[in-house]
Amino acid sequence: MLYALIKEHKPILTLMGHTSYGVELAPRLAAAMNTPLATDCIDIAYENGTFTVTRQMYGGKVNVKATLRKAENYMATIRQAAFTAQKPQPPLSAQTIEKPSPLTEETATKRFIEYVLPPSGGVDITAAEKLVGIGRGIKDVANMPIMEEFAKTLGAVLACSRPVVDKGWLPTDRQVGSSGKTVKPKLYVAVGISGAFQHVLGMKNSDLIIAINKDPNAPIFSFSDYGVVDDLFKVVPALKNKIAEIRGQKA
């Protein structure tokens, strides 16, 4: 179906999400069409007939800019939250055209039965507008209630770095990073997170990042809009009380 549509309309670029479905479909389609394909892209550019992409290597330590071979059309899969939604200037118009599928239950080689969600804590951190990310700096599971109260007062969802998941303090669906989820909230508060590149990879595109860490040389400050260098067990309760006070006055 897509093969026929691309052959008919001849688009310069076909984009898909870098999802489980996209990474299965895109390579097969590209191979069938002999079309250059780049996967897991975080940036793309098309200038003067040349298509270039930016991808990450070595667990996100290096950004690589690659140029695809010359072709009539190209294909790429895009990592989620890699781009900021913007209104085009000038505004563009588009038309949705429905095309009936030529496949039937008899001719289809695969059939969708149902989508089974993995067990979760009932929260999708990728959809949250505010996140409080906690790291090994909280020291002990006994301090989790302090962080939960802070997140609740802020109206945020609690997320974490990998060490917190490894210790069993939060489930895997709360993990942010290259081995977790990529998030892009309006506000990300990093509490006791040093800022390892694996974690930064999953949250660096947040609209506003605030870091709280007693180590002034923590890498997280390089990616933060605001930073507080102090003991988080002093800062977090004071900040929680101030937020509650302000909201109480507004109410």
Q: What is the pLDDT of residues 106-152, one digit of tens each?
A: 666 777 788 776 665 568 899 999 999 999 999 999 999 999 999 99
Name which residue leads in pLDDT, 66 or 3.
Answer: 66
Least confident of 24-33, 56-65, 151-160: 56-65
Tell me, yes or no, if the two domains 2-78 and 125-250 fold the same way.
Answer: yes
Evaluate if residue 8 carries a pLDDT over 50.
yes
**Whether the Cβ atoms of residue 205 and residue 192 lie closer than 8 Å to each other:** no
Question: What tens digit of pLDDT does each residue of 149-204 get?
Answer: 999 999 999 999 999 999 999 999 899 997 789 899 999 999 999 998 889 989 99
Strand partners, 44: 53
What top-level class would CATH report for the domain 2-78?
alpha beta
CATH number for the region 125-250 comes to: 3.40.50.1220
Give the pLDDT of residue 118: 60
Residue 27 backbone class (left: φ over 0; alpha: ψ -120 to 50; beta: rest) = alpha
Locate the domains of the chain by residue range.
2-78, 125-250
Closest to 13 measured CA to CA, from 66, 70, 51, 65: 51
Least confident of 10-24, 97-111, 150-164, 216-230: 97-111
Average pLDDT of the residues in 24-34: 92
End-to-end CA gap in the chain? 56
